[in-house]
Amino acid sequence: MGGRVNEDLIKERRKCTFDIKELTHIIDCGEENTIKRKQIDNYILNIKELWDDVPEEYLSHKERYENAIKKAFIVLKVLRQLHTGNIQITDHRTPTNVYSIQDGIFRNVNPLLIHIGLFWSTIAAQASTEQQAEWLQPDSSMIGTYVQTELGHGSFIRGIETTATYDSTTDEFILHTPRLSAYKWWPGGLGNTANACLVMAQLYINGTCHGLHIFLAQIRDFDTHKPLPGIKVGEIGPKMGFNTADNGFLGFDNHRIPRTNMLMKNVQVLRDGTYVKPKHDKLTYGSMLLTRVTLISDLAYQLSKAATIAVRYSAVRRQSPIKSNEPERQILDFVSQQHKLFITIASSHVYRVVGLWMWNSHKRVTADIHEGNMGQLPELHALACCLKAISSRDASALVEQCRLACGGHGYMMASNLPQIYAYTTAAVTYEGEYTVLLLQTARYLVKFWRLAAEHKPLPQNFAYFEDYIKKNFEQWRNSPEGIIEGFKAIVAGKTKAAYDTLQCNLRNGREFEEAWNMASVQLTNASEYSTISRNDIEALQSRYEELLALIRPNAVGLVDAFDIRDEVLCSTLGAYDGRVYERMMEEASKSPLNEDVVNESFHKYIRPVTMKNKL
């Protein structure tokens, strides 16, 4: 769409007091990465076959999937070319960099998301060298998915009921679904797309259960794509979002796979049925850990999209004068609006930085694990659980806040905010449900509180627990260091309160698990335990309001620095040129309900009633 840039946005950009490009380079971790990112954007977004004439929202569930699959294989080809170096752009900060522009292409989810993001990465991390050499061929016929959750069990994975029983006479595992609740349910790409999967099942050898292990199973014929004998597979139906991801169900009826299809890097079953234990029994859960880490950066990116849309719209939208004799103001001038939006910008930066830090920590800990050192795994797991939980919960709440900040127009699908919300809120549940993950972190914290309470030596990271017990915390100071100290006090105070409740329940004769359950609300909620006073809060509040005013002239510059292209934002409200109303009218004209001047239902249903007495 041609035309001038909205005058208010032009003025906002003139007001900006910092170098927008410099911030973009910081976000990309260097100018070189910005250049590479833009090359990828240009390359992929210029592929004409990836763009639709009819907006996604007007397609049926089936048409959406078919359209998405067409695009997914174009994108897959490009990703393969990038990896093999046939397109000369490589080396990226985090995987999300390459994949983020797909949001614009699919306006939903790439049906190959799990194939690329989880299937290949799990094989790369958990299969033996020989298995990798066989399965990770660039021209492989396999389209895979990650099959863990069952109809009856998602969070409590030890309760998974699918079995893999070793048959030493044939050197095979027999995969079996013993009952309805054991049907696999949810895996992305399973419904129609995948012909193979990594399936999590309870391993049985000679009647002994060795717990959960991962197996590669072919489920559809590579040529005809028909389900193999003994496989019952299908799609689970429409969802709040993720409607192009063909999430599926899967049942096995004594389906046989070779013994060598168990992922054997960390754990082995030998030909004679000997079980060789892993060095750490949670290494099988490694893919969940990696995805949780990756998600933090992805959620930061979703926040930057929502903030870009809502801030640009708030600069263009004028409604109500502040003083009655003045013209209507940009809604961005209302301090309450600034509060809604600037927090979203800030949170995006916070989770971007933390996500990158976690990505690097994961790389470091994985290298250690490779050398046989498991020492850092529990801390990484506790951090990943907590950060995945709060980043997804914050992101979905803030995306919704941005949507509401755009008033009625935020409710339009063409604003793209409802789709970003549906995508973001799913992350609160998948890859470990919010409360369940917080309880994992609580379990870790309580362990160290117990050491502190018993005056046993603590690792340096937990020295603040001891400080709290000895009341060594300094008086609150309104500074970044003071805020960090305040948070330490909150964690220590909260952990203490939960620990005390737990102990009290135990003293009253409860079993540990029951006592834990009774303390679980305390274990997941944070409250104010720091030395902060009422006066401090007032000072913080007024500093916060000063900061809102300081940020105000730079708001549009700050979101421009995210440098997200219009094709990715897909929003009538958030485009760079700010031609909001023109774009809204153009999108409305695409509604099929505008195709006929008089819709045929008028003749069928309305006219017979309204004209009844006049005919």
Ligand X SMILES: Cc1cc2nc3c(=O)[nH]c(=O)nc-3n(C[C@H](O)[C@H](O)[C@H](O)COP(=O)(O)OP(=O)(O)OC[C@H]3O[C@@H](n4cnc5c(N)ncnc54)[C@H](O)[C@@H]3O)c2cc1C
Looking at 194, 198, 269, 295, which residue binds ligand LPWUO67N (CB under 6 A)? 295
3-state secondary structure of 588: helix
Site string for ligand X, 517-536 (x = CB under 6 A): ---x----------------
Helix pair angle (377-405, 434-453), 10° resolution: 130
Distance CA 141, CA 367 (A): 30
Question: Least distance to ligand X from the beta carbon of 317, Å?
Answer: 32
Q: What angle do CA 415, 420, 425 make, to 5 degrees?
A: 145
Please check whether residue 314 is in contact with residue 331, taking contact to mean a CB–CB distance below 8 angstroms: yes
Site string for ligand X, 126-155 (x = CB under 6 A): --------------------xxxx----xx
State yes or no: residue 111 binds ligand X (CB under 6 A): no
Strand partners, 145: 197
Catalytic member of 12, 400, 431, 485: 431
Which residue, 168 or 517, is less far from ligand LPWUO67N as judged by CB? 517
Q: Which of 253-261, 436-444, 499-507, 557-565 is the region at the interface with ligand LPWUO67N (rule: CB under 6 A)?
A: 436-444
Distance CA 450, CA 591 (A): 62
Strand 255-258 to strand 172-176: parallel, antiparallel, or no bridges (unpaired)?
Answer: antiparallel
Residue with tokens 């909205």: 6
569's contact among ligand X, ligand LPWUO67N, none, with CB below 5 to 8 A by partner kind, is none
Which residue, 197 or 569, is less far from ligand LPWUO67N as judged by CB? 197
State yes or no: residue 431 binds ligand LPWUO67N (CB under 6 A): yes
Q: Which of 183-191, 348-356, 399-407, 496-504 is the region at the interface with ligand X (rule: CB under 6 A)?
A: 183-191
State yes or no: residue 121 binds ligand X (CB under 6 A): no
74's contact among ligand LPWUO67N, ligand X, none, with CB below 5 to 8 A by partner kind, is none
3-class SS shares of the chain: helix, strand, coil, % to 5: 55, 10, 35
Residue with tokens 């910092």: 18
State yes or no: residue 294 binds ligand LPWUO67N (CB under 6 A): yes
278's contact among ligand LPWUO67N, ligand X, none, with CB below 5 to 8 A by partner kind, is none
State yes or no: residue 541 binds ligand LPWUO67N (CB under 6 A): no
State yes or no: residue 156 binds ligand LPWUO67N (CB under 6 A): yes
Q: Is 119 exposed, middle or buried (0-12, 13-18, 19+ CB in 10 A)?
A: buried
State yes or no: residue 432 binds ligand LPWUO67N (CB under 6 A): yes
Q: Identify which of 49, 69, 75 has the alpha carbon closest to the alpha carbon of residue 189.
A: 69
State yes or no: residue 441 binds ligand LPWUO67N (CB under 6 A): no
Kindly determine how many residues on this chain lie close enough to bind ligand LPWUO67N according to the rule CB under 6 A. 32
Amino acid at 46: N
Question: Least distance to ligand X from the beta carbon of 269, Å?
Answer: 23
CA distances in angstroms from 555 to 25, 344, 449, 561, listed in the order given: 18, 11, 42, 10
Please check whether residue 118 is in contact with residue 126, taking contact to mean a CB–CB distance below 8 angstroms: no
State yes or no: residue 381 binds ligand LPWUO67N (CB under 6 A): yes
Q: Where are the beta strands (DSSP E) in 347-455?
A: none
Distance CA 401, CA 421 (A): 10
The structure tokens listed for 180 are 């309805």
Work out the number of other CB atoms within 10 angstroms of the CB of residue 216.
23
Strand partners, 203: 164
Cβ neighbours of residue 349 under 8 Å, at least 6 residues apart? 300
State yes or no: residue 99 binds ligand LPWUO67N (CB under 6 A): yes
The structure tokens listed for 174 are 């027999």
Site string for ligand X, 203-222 (x = CB under 6 A): --------------------
Strand 196-205 to strand 144-147: parallel, antiparallel, or no bridges (unpaired)?
Answer: parallel
Question: Least distance to ligand LPWUO67N from the beta carbon of 98, Å?
Answer: 8
**431 belongs to the catalytic site:** yes
Question: Least distance to ligand X from the beta carbon of 200, Å?
Answer: 7
Distance CA 390, CA 406 (A): 24
- 188 annotated as ligand-binding: yes
The structure tokens listed for 181 are 């609740």
Kindly determine how many residues on this chain lie close enough to bind ligand X according to the rule CB under 6 A. 22
Binding site for ligand X (CB under 6 A): 114, 146-149, 154-155, 186-188, 242, 247, 426, 429-433, 435-436, 439, 520
Binding site residue list for FAD: 149, 188
The catalytic residues are 431
Binding site for ligand LPWUO67N (CB under 6 A): 95-96, 99, 110, 112-113, 116-117, 146, 148-149, 155-158, 188, 282, 285, 288-289, 294-295, 298, 377-378, 381, 430-432, 436, 440, 443
